């Protein structure tokens, strides 16, 4: 049976249709569910195996990217989200969705962090250049244990955000995440660099994130949040140099969605 994916959107979300299509292309049954619908009937979430919060500008980012959306989850859906995280299910947050996962406390701790989120040890804030940035970036997969990243070593994806700079409160947290396999993807320059923590300049690290981090996972490997948009590269022809590189077939971003669907086939 195909897994069911809940694409949870809010006012201002604008990548939900593309994200639902990506999951469906990989064999999932994807449904776009409005946050207001889930607030009215929280038990709806029990029908799904995958929860995805897509990109966009939820609530217009009026008081900060993902802040209102994350407060809705914590203040009104805490038990529902907690139960989902405790189950053998998957959670994906893309761009604004990653911001929501961090600011709600779902990441970096997953189920454990959701239980006791007294403060946030990490956030996503304004890019170093102080403006919205849209470009393609090269990424290194750092967490083979993460379900979404299985079989992926290097990947190129587009970014489009103004508040994508990941900042940790304490640099020792980054070492802890590295040890527990929670650093999911990092910006890279396409060359092997032994010192993965050494900050790369713009445009390789397009927002100035600590340790070049572009995405984080939870300790279980079942939650992933990332700033780049895999749903914008599910066809080879979506790459700006697809003719020059002679790309054909699927785009590299499709693999993340396929891994999520295949997880339930294997289990």
Average pLDDT of the segment spanning 45-73? 95
Question: Given this model, what pLDDT does residue 199 score?
Answer: 85
Please say if the pLDDT value at position 154 is more than 80.
yes
Q: How many domains does the chain have?
A: 1
Active site residue 24: no
Identify the pLDDT of residue 115: 64
pLDDT of residue 191: 63
Is the pLDDT assigned to residue 193 strictly greater than 60? no
CATH code for the domain in which residue 32 is found:
3.40.50.880
Catalytic position from the list 6, 163, 186, 231: 231
- Whether 52 sits among the annotated catalytic residues: the reply is no
Instruction: Give the Cα separation of 71 and 117 in Å (integer).
Output: 12
pLDDT for 116 beyond 80: no
Output the pLDDT for position 111.
Answer: 82
User: In terms of pLDDT, which residue wins out, 117 or 248?
Assistant: 248
User: Could you read off the pLDDT of 121-138 as tens digits, one per residue?
Assistant: 899 999 999 999 999 999
**Domain enclosing residue 246, as ranges:** 4-266
Q: Which of 15, 156, 161, 229 is catalytic?
A: 229
114 — pLDDT class (breaks 50, 70, 90):
confident
Q: Which of 6, 15, 95, 186 is catalytic?
A: 95
Q: Give the span between the Cα atoms of 129 and 169, in whole angstroms.
A: 21
- Helix/strand/coil (H, E, C) string of the chain? CCCEEEEEECCCECCHHHHHHHHHHCCCEEEEEEHHHHHHCHHHHHHCCEEEECCECHHHHECECCHHHHHHHHHHCHHHHHHHHHCCCEEEEECHHHHHHHHHCCCCCCHHHHHCCCCCCEEEECCCCCCCEEEEEEEEECCCCCHHHCCCCEEEEEEEECCCEEEECCHHHHHHHHHCCCEEEEEECCCCCCCCCCCCCCCCCCCCCHHHEEEEECCCCCEEEECCCHHHCCEHHHCCCCCCCCCCCECCCHHHHHHHHHHHHHC
Tell whether pTM > 0.85.
Answer: yes
Confidence of residue 117 (pLDDT cuts 50, 70, 90): low
Task: Please state, in angstroms and rounded to a whole number, the distance separating the CA atoms of residues 166 and 186.
Answer: 11
The pLDDT tens digits of the residues spanning 202-226 come to: 999 999 999 999 999 999 999 999 9
Active site residue 161: no
């Amino acid at each position: 049976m195909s897994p069911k994916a809940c694409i949870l959107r809010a006012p201002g979300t604008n990548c939900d249709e593309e994200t639902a299509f990506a999951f469906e292309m990989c064999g999932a049954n994807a449904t776009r569910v409005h946050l207001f619908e889930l607030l009215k009937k929280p038990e709806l979430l029990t029908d799904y195996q995958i929860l995805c919060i897509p990109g966009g500008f939820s609530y217009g980012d009026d008081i900060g990217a993902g802040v209102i959306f994350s407060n809705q989850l914590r203040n009104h859906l805490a038990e529902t989200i907690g139960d989902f995280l405790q189950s053998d299910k998957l959670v994906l947050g893309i761009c604004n969705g990653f911001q929501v996962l961090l600011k709600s406390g779902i990441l970096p701790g997953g189920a454990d962090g959701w239980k006791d989120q007294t403060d946030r040890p990490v956030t996503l804030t304004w890019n170093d250049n102080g403006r919205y940035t849209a470009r393609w970036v090269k990424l290194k997969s750092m967490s083979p244990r993460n379900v979404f990243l299985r079989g992926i070593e290097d990947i190129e994806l587009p970014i489009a955000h103004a508040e994508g700079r990941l900042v940790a409160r304490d640099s020792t947290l980054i070492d802890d995440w590295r040890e527990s396999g929670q650093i999911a993807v990092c910006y890279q320059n396409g060359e092997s660099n032994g010192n993965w923590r050494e900050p790369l300049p713009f445009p390789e690290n397009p927002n100035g994130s600590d340790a070049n981090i572009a995405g984080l996972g939870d300790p279980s490997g079942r939650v992933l949040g990332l700033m780049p948009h895999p749903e914008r590269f599910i066809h080879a022809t979506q790459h700006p140099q697809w003719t020059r590189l002679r790309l054909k077939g699927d785009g590299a971003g499709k693999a993340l969605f396929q891994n999520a669907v295949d997880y339930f086939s294997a289990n």
